[in-house]
Structure 1
Amino acid sequence: MTAAKAGRLADARRLLEEAIVSNPANARAYAELGAVQGASGNPKLARKYYVIALSIDPIFPSALSGLARLNIEAGDKEAARLLLDKLRLTCPACTETRDIERALGEAGVRTTPPVNPNP
């Protein structure tokens, strides 16, 4: 969102809230609102919005990574690793996956065995 990138967090929050009113099933708007709240220093609200986004779309990469980052900041690396595992399974090449791997110091390290498509 342009307003958030320009540092206009209040404008971004207002626009995202309007998007949610227009479409309450908009996982992207909730995830971006989580990012705006996080950037505004409101990790509790950020977490709330990431969880809502994931209730709409359980594999939405920016919500998974945003929530993982909040968990890392809160010192809960195990919860962040679980979200990273989900990212790796659903979007191994995503930027969000690589960002969380770096944040956890696990670039290229798998914490769960790969899924065998031909058992």
Structure 2
Amino acid sequence: MQAFQFIIVSPDDPPNGTLNINSQTSYCGGHRGHPRGVQKSLEPIDKTTRDWLSVKELAMHYKLSKSLIYALIQTEPDFPVQVFGRKKKYMVKAKDFSEWIEKRSSQEKTERFALSSAEELLKRYKK
């Protein structure tokens, strides 16, 4: 009989985002070597500080529409997005998105409120 190692996340994990991991051995019971039970994934407890956000989570967090985010993904070459899987699941790093927003808003401010030099103003109004 084959033994399998499972990593089980304890339900009384501390809330600071660290994981309390218990190792447990489970036997198949003779059914073609398949493990008995379900192996749980290792996910941080605090999901509000996740690194990667889906389009839906990004839209909810920043109060934007999903269609706007998809449009930005298609039209902005520097939009910080990664594509995962065959079904093209778009994921965005929260930190990169915040930096992209800051960079973009500062660029728009400088372009919108850029003061013309005196020479440019004279050229415009002499015509």
TM over 0.5: no
Larger helix proportion of the pair = 1
Larger strand proportion of the pair = 2
Q: Could you tell me the TM-score, scaled by structure 1's length? A: 0.27
Greater Rg, structure 1 or structure 2? 2
Q: Could you tell me the TM-score, scaled by structure 2's length? A: 0.26
